[in-house]
Amino acid sequence: METAPPEHTDASATPARSGFRVVSEDGILTGIVGAVVVSLVFLLLDFANGRPFHTPSLLGSVIFRGQHVSDLSGPDPVMIFAYTGLHGAAFLVVGFLLAVLFREFEKHPKLGLELLVVLLVFEGLLMGVEVTVFPALVGELGAWAVATANIASLIAMFAFLAYRQPQAIQALRESE
């Protein structure tokens, strides 16, 4: 039995990406991008300071074991693994929320400024929570390093979503 070759379809004729499945996929991938960027920033800083994996080990020890910043003697593989899991899960949530916001932006391009404000407020709140809840950690890591990692992550996630959802950027251009 012979089968006919598949017909060539025009990409512009395919239906627009929509639905919970697509938003979930975008959110998961966006979260991974954000988590990787933050991890790479601190990995590079840790290696530059001659203390590989210091940051995830420190964060894991403080969060999961309640240790003080000065109690850490060296990298703890269990704490590195535990913190990496927590970090990844948190970024999956953030990635999903950003994907939902971006989808709404796609539907309502006039919300672009509001989206930007929400992202900046989120970044400010995140930094405020970090400084308030874990002041010794922020002091140990350096506020500039934390802010740089968070902003780099936010830029990477936005760029990734713009790549995944070019119609949102096109809608913004057309709304001007």
pLDDT given at position 13: 40
Judge whether 2 lies within some domain.
Answer: no
Judge whether 103 lies within some domain.
Answer: yes
> What residues make up the domain containing 26?
19-175
Judge whether 170 lies within some domain.
Answer: yes
Do 23 and 99 meet the contact criterion of CB atoms below 8 Å apart? yes
Q: Is 15 exposed, middle or buried (0-12, 13-18, 19+ CB in 10 A)?
A: exposed
Single-letter code of the amino acid located at 49: N
Do 49 and 58 meet the contact criterion of CB atoms below 8 Å apart? no
Q: Among positive and negative, which fits the CA dihedral 43, 45, 47, 50?
A: negative
What pTM value is reported for the model?
0.77
Judge whether 5 lies within some domain.
Answer: no
* pLDDT, one tens digit for every residue, the chain (176 residues): 555 555 544 444 434 556 778 888 999 999 999 999 999 999 999 999 999 999 999 989 988 988 888 888 889 999 999 999 999 999 999 899 888 888 877 777 777 667 777 777 877 787 777 777 777 777 788 888 888 898 899 899 989 988 988 877 777 677 66
Spatial neighbors of 78 by CB under 8 A, at least 6 apart, are 60
Judge whether 138 lies within some domain.
Answer: yes
Judge whether 6 lies within some domain.
Answer: no
Q: How far is CA 100 from the centre of its chain?
A: 14
Give the count of domains, the chain.
1
Residue 137 phi, psi (nearest 5): -65, -45
Judge whether 86 lies within some domain.
Answer: yes
pLDDT given at position 4: 52
Judge whether 112 lies within some domain.
Answer: yes
The whole-angstrom separation of Cα 173 and Cα 176 is 6
pLDDT given at position 9: 45
pLDDT given at position 141: 84
